[in-house]
Amino acid sequence: MTYEMVIGLETHVELSTKSKIFCSCTTAFGGAPNTHCCPICTGQPGSLPVLNKSVVQYAVTAGLALNCRINRHSVMARKHYVYPDLPKAYQISQYELPLCEGGWVELSGGKRINLTRIHIEEDAGKLVHQGSAVFVDYNRGGVPLIEIVSEPDFRSAEEATEYLEKLQTILRAVGVSDCRMQEGSMRCDVNISLRPKGETAFGVRAEIKNLNSFTSVAAAIEHEFKRQEEILSSGGVVVQETRHFDADTGETTNLRGKENADDYRYFPDPDIIPVILPYDVLEQLESSLPELPDKKLARYVSQLGVPEADARMLTKYRAVSDYFEKASAGVQNPKTVATFMVTQMFGVIQTEAEREHWSPSVTAEQLGELTRLLESDKISRNLAKRVFSQMLETGKPATAFITEEDMAGFDASALKALCQKAIDDNPKSVDDYKAGKEKAIKALVGAVMRESKGRANALAAEEELKKLIIG
Amino acid sequence: MTTIQAVHHLLTNREVTCRELTVRYLKAADDVNPQVNAYISLTKEAALAAADAVDKKLCRGEALAPLEGVPFCLKDNISTKGLATTCASHMLENYVPIYDAAIWEALGTQNAILVGKGNMDEFAMGSTCENSYFGGSKNPHNLGHVAGGSSGGVAAAVAANIAVYGIGSDTGGSIRMPASFCGLVGLKPTYGAVSRRGLIAYGSSLDQIGPITTCVEDAALVFDAICEKDPGDMTSRGAAPVADRLTGDIKGLKIGIASEFFEGLSGDVDKALSDAVALYEKLGAEIVPLHFPLLQYVLPTYYIIACAEASSNLGRYDGLRYGHQAPSFSDLNDFICRTRTEGFGKEVRRRILLGTYVLSAGYYDAYYNKAQQLRRAIVREFSDMFARCDVILTPTVPVTALQFGADLSPVETYQTDICTCSVNIAGLPAVSIPCGVDSKSLPIGLQLIGGRFREATVLNAALAFERETARSYLKTADMGVAL
Ligand SMILES: [Zn+2]
């Protein structure tokens, strides 16, 4: 029997607001333990939460970017569980009436992953183990999150990872989160069940909690598929449970079973009035939504003539695409800018983290200037490449590396003189060409290039040579 | 008993310095408290520092705000930075908050003289003030009787003349009931009129801070000082000041009487209420008969919502960050279990369990959801009644102060809240004022309920009654400070 996997993802994304969801404490990452805290985020007796408006706006923006229906009326609820990193013994989240419902993410093959809902909630603190002691750091407590719940629409680990990459790209593009899995600002729970291929009913699912990298998600899914497949094909029954993935062993292990399933005792938080989104705010958020990565990609390819592979790299991070568009301003062929960026800049700015931060030594204006020099035939492509390398190394503008000598010889008369010299110096090649040996022209072009120390435009030289020989 | 206005006069006319006054109250509190048990802690240093600030202002010839320099008692579930705030619980016996409640900030800027923190039922759960880890407060009118709960300590302090006024909290009658038992005025403002920031929560959607005073005008003065809108409490709305609007004229006022509130009253209470109604008619009010059929559902609705919210609000007391910690345990679960079992009293544990039960997955719809539906229906029924009248008059409590250790069953005790609870469910303002005494000279209270933010209407009706009776029904307890 062959089995197919049915996967749903719950993705937690930290919003990049400056202050926490219910108080004015900073959300800055790090800091000495328990220094980004106040009576509200540590749940002191009598303290009251005050919902941060920008959290709602960020979450609405995320919902709009992911094609959700935005509920103008939503309600904050308390989700109860006891854990030392949760100082109130409940997490303020949303249950009935979440902020966003529906929506979808389209994978590159055109398949849509449907979303159930997106809701806002607060993050918990963090346990710090030191030897046999355990400490609690509440700096992260109260940092705003959105939870994006998908329908069980995934059928492979690849789809799951592509979806997560897509989410990352989209949420970064609209500026609501930096989605850094390594810093925990994006994490994922996987629900996975198996069923015989062709079957429509769902099997019993296991939930794997708190995955914090794409590779973990993929590995956990693969491992869980094998584990459940073995159980099913040997006639066993999968039990509903919560499992933990160990990145070192690549295996999942039981965390807790269904027998002590959580009863969160949700109810509307009486301290927080219902969230009412005014029409004008919703309209304003809708109209200020930036161009989304998929649209941008299509535009780069169809309108700007950028090869799709390059366009994908350029649209992955907002800062990169902003840079590209700025550098392309006033340029005839934006593809040239794309090529500079993909072949040379990405060679220097190699890690994803560096690309995400995107603070290259060369400004967009400087790259634009270089491109325009190249396009107006003032310098050769080879020279431009060399110059760009030096620019990247030093952060200085193109003019710092282009001498008058470099520029000389690139107006029409100078090229003509060079070509005439090549013809005069190589009568044999001229005769060969006249005799119909097309290849002979290459020797003459070579001579021009040598004479110009590689600065001449080979194509222009070839045309000029032909004109001079044939007359 | 004295009034805020009287103390204000003494101070501004320089008949007494604020320090002298404060020392007298502190001394009296020291003497009287062992008998009455009104205060859990006395806050001498804070009181004297505030008193000196007032005296400095007087020396500079500056005017005093109405509450400035007036000694008062603050219920011990209101957070005071650096001053123990115990909720009368073993759980918070040694808890010293790191921040101030909004109301203490507001009164602090007025140099209010905090004599001490008032005794209460543990976490404000109770109707007799006997559920305090520090022992019950006694009724200054008869020390063999309870002061009423849960703000019993605050009421006892005022009635025993060791505070000029008090600040309590009212979740289901916790201001009005002890006011009634102790012969005082207790105002439960509209939900949202006074910030709850820093009030250690019992039932968040029901809790409201308010004054316990010796007269209606004082209640208005305190209300005006504390009714500011607070951006730190999303449910806070603030309210317009009322003191200037009180005339005592109630000609044409429509007073609604719903017969359901008058069932099962003790003879003395029944008589006092009938006399009060007659008096109101004499003063020119029009009596409008009403029906409140949902009253029979008020107590279950109230206890389900209050306990559900309490079970949630009290989850944070796990001994990990503050409060009681179990001295011996085997693992984290055992630690939390023991800490909570040792730290909470019986009534608190009972309500947490009840609340956890009604919120749990299998019972949520049957209990909590039903209670929410009933709550909405009760709100509607009140607005129907207020379409026909300006205020609704009821007894505050069907009985007078119980004897200490009367040992009623929990359900019998809960029934003493029947007239007060509906007001919290609907978020309305209500005041309890004295309207007579029983055969043992224990005070009887009547309650006036108003529409949302109609504090002025309610207090004006109360003032008319108070003026007419000239507080003849009040006997001052023979203790504390007499000015
Ligand atoms: Zn904070």
Stretch among A121-130, A433-442, B38-47, B73-82 having the lowest mean pLDDT? A433-442
What was the pLDDT predicted at B415?
80
Token pair in block for residue A84: 């030392």
For residue B150, indicate whether it is catalytic: yes
Report B:362-401 residues touching A (Cβ under 8 A). 364, 368
Which chain B residue is nearest to residue A266, measuring alpha carbons? Answer: B359
Q: How far apart, in whole angstroms, are the C-alpha atoms of residue B474 and residue B140?
A: 12
* pLDDT reading at A430 higher than 70: yes
- pLDDT number for residue A95: 96
Average pLDDT estimate for A62-89: 97
| pLDDT for residue B471 is more than 70 | no
pLDDT computed for residue A260 by the predictor:
58
* pLDDT of the residue at B35: 96
Q: Kindly state whether B316 is in contact with chain A, defined as any CB-CB distance less than 8 angstroms.
A: yes
> In this predicted structure, what is the pLDDT of residue A277?
96
* Chain position carrying tokens 């800055």: A28
Nearest to B273 by CA among B435, B108, B460: B435
What was the pLDDT predicted at A98? 98
- Residue with the bigger pLDDT between A212 and A410: it is A212
Q: Contact B316/A43 with Cβ under 8 angstroms?
A: yes
A398 vs A69 pLDDT, higher one: A69
A403: pLDDT confidence band, cut at 50, 70 and 90?
confident
Q: What is the average pLDDT value for chain A, to the nearest integer? A: 92
Nearest to B167 by CA among B126, B229, B205, B114: B114
pLDDT of residue A19: 98
Q: Cα distance from A77 to chain B (closest Cα, Å)?
A: 11
pLDDT number for residue A258 = 60
Distance CA B75, CA B38 (A): 10
Over residues A342-397, the pLDDT tens digits come to 999 999 998 888 898 899 999 999 999 999 988 887 787 888 898 999 999 998 98
How many whole angstroms from its chain centre is CA B223? 13
This prediction's pTM: 0.90
Q: Can you give the pLDDT at residue A320?
A: 94
Q: Band the pLDDT of A410: cuts 50, 70, 90.
A: low
Mutant choice from B191, B209, B234 vs A, greatest count of A C-beta within 10 A = B234
**What is the per-residue pLDDT for A136?**
96
pLDDT reported for residue A325: 95
Query: Is A89–B201 a contact, with Cβ atoms under 8 angstroms apart?
Result: no
User: pLDDT (tens digit, 9 = 90+) per residue, A232-247?
Assistant: 999 999 999 999 999 8
The residues whose Cβ lies within 5 A of ligand 1, an ion, are: A 23, 25, 38, 40-41
Q: CA nearest B76: which of B32, B127, B41, B125? A: B41
Q: What is the residue type of A458? A: A
Q: Which residues of A touch B318 (CB under 8 A)?
A: 82, 84, 89
Token pair for A323: 């840079």
Residue B139 has φ and ψ, to the nearest 5°, of -80, 115
**pLDDT score, position B483:** 84
- Is A436 touching B (CB cutoff 8 A)? no
Give CA–CA dist B143/B137, Å, rounded.
Answer: 9
Which residue out of B79, B127, B137, B174 is catalytically annotated? B174
Asked if pLDDT for residue A409 goes beyond 60, the answer is: no
CA angle (B164, B168, B172) in 5-degree steps:
140
Considering the candidates B150, B195, B311, B422, report the single residue annotated as catalytic: B150
> What ipTM was assigned to the predicted interfaces of this complex?
0.96
Is the four-CA dihedral B171, B173, B179, B182 of positive or negative sign?
Answer: negative
Say if B476 is an interface residue toward chain A (CB within 8 Å).
no
pLDDT at B166 over 80: yes
Q: Does B99 touch chain A (CB under 8 A)?
A: yes
* Span B351-368, pLDDT tens digits: 999 999 999 999 999 999
- Cβ of A44 and B360 within 8 Å? no
What SS3 state is found at A410?
Answer: coil
Q: Does the annotation mark B205 as catalytic?
A: no
pLDDT for res A408? 60
Q: Which residues of B touch A21 (CB under 8 A)?
A: none
Residue A405 has pLDDT above 70, yes or no: no
Query: Which residues of A, range 169-198, sit inside 8 Å of B by Cβ?
Result: none
* pLDDT (tens digit per residue) in A315-326: 988 899 999 999
Smallest CA-to-CA distance from B428 within B385, B460, B470 is with B385
Count of all residues that appear for chain B in the document = 483
pLDDT at residue number A380: 78
Least confident of A165-179, A246-260, B428-442: A246-260
Dihedral sign of CA atoms B90, B96, B98, B99 in order: positive
Distance from CA of B203 to the nearest CA of A (A): 9
**Whether B254 is catalytic:** no
pLDDT exceeds 90 at position B176: yes
The minimal CB distance from B361 to the residues A50, A88, A263 is found for: A263
pLDDT at A413 over 80: no
- Give residue B311's pLDDT: 98
Mean pLDDT in residue range B297-302: 96
The share of chain A scoring above pLDDT 70, in percent, equals 97
Lowest-confidence pick of A292-306, B19-33, B411-425: B411-425
| Residue of A55, A95, A271, A273 for testing the chain B interface, max B β-carbons within 10 Å | A271
* Model confidence at A459: pLDDT above 90: no
pLDDT reading at A411 higher than 90: no
Q: Output the pLDDT for position A376.
A: 80
Whole-number Å distance between alpha carbons of A392 and A396: 8
CA B459 to chain centre: 16
- What pLDDT is attached to residue B419? 96
SS3 per-residue string spanning chain B:
CCCHHHHHHHHHCCCCCHHHHHHHHHHHHHHHHHHHCCEEEECHHHHHHHHHHHHHHHHCCCCCCCCCCCEEEEECCECECCECCCCCCHHHCCCCCCCCCHHHHHHHHCCCEEEEEECCCHHHCCCCCCCCCCCCCEECCEEEEECCCCCHHHHHHHHCCCCCEEEEEECCCCCHHHHHHCCCEEEECCCCCCCCCCECCCCCCCCEEEEEECCHHHHHHHHHHHCCCCCCCCCCCCCCCCHHHCCCCCCCCEEEEEHHHHCCCCHHHHHHHHHHHHHHHHCCCEEEEECCCCHHHHHHHHHHHHHHHHHHHHHHCCCCCCCCCCCCCCCHHHHHHHHHHHHCCHHHHHHHHHHHHHHCCCCCHHHHHHHHHHHHHHHHHHHHHHCCCCEEEEECCCCCCCECCCCCCHHHHHHCCHHHHHHHHHCCCEEEEEEEECCCCCEEEEEEEECCCCHHHHHHHHHHHHHHHCCCCCCCCCCCCCC
Q: Please give, one letter per residue, the 3-state secondary structure of A359-375.
A: CCCCCHHHHHHHHHHHH
Q: What is the pLDDT of residue A383?
A: 83
Asked if A45 and B79 come within 8 Å (Cβ–Cβ), the reply is: yes
Q: How confident is the model at residue A259 (pLDDT cuts 50, 70, 90)?
A: low
Q: Model confidence over B138-156: pLDDT tens digits?
A: 999 999 999 999 999 999 9
Distance from C-alpha of B73 to C-alpha of A182, rounded to nearest angstrom? 53
What per-residue confidence (pLDDT) applies to A30? 83
CB B294 within 8 A of CB B374: yes
Given a contact cutoff of 8 angstroms between Cβ atoms, the answer to whether A70 and A126 are in contact is no
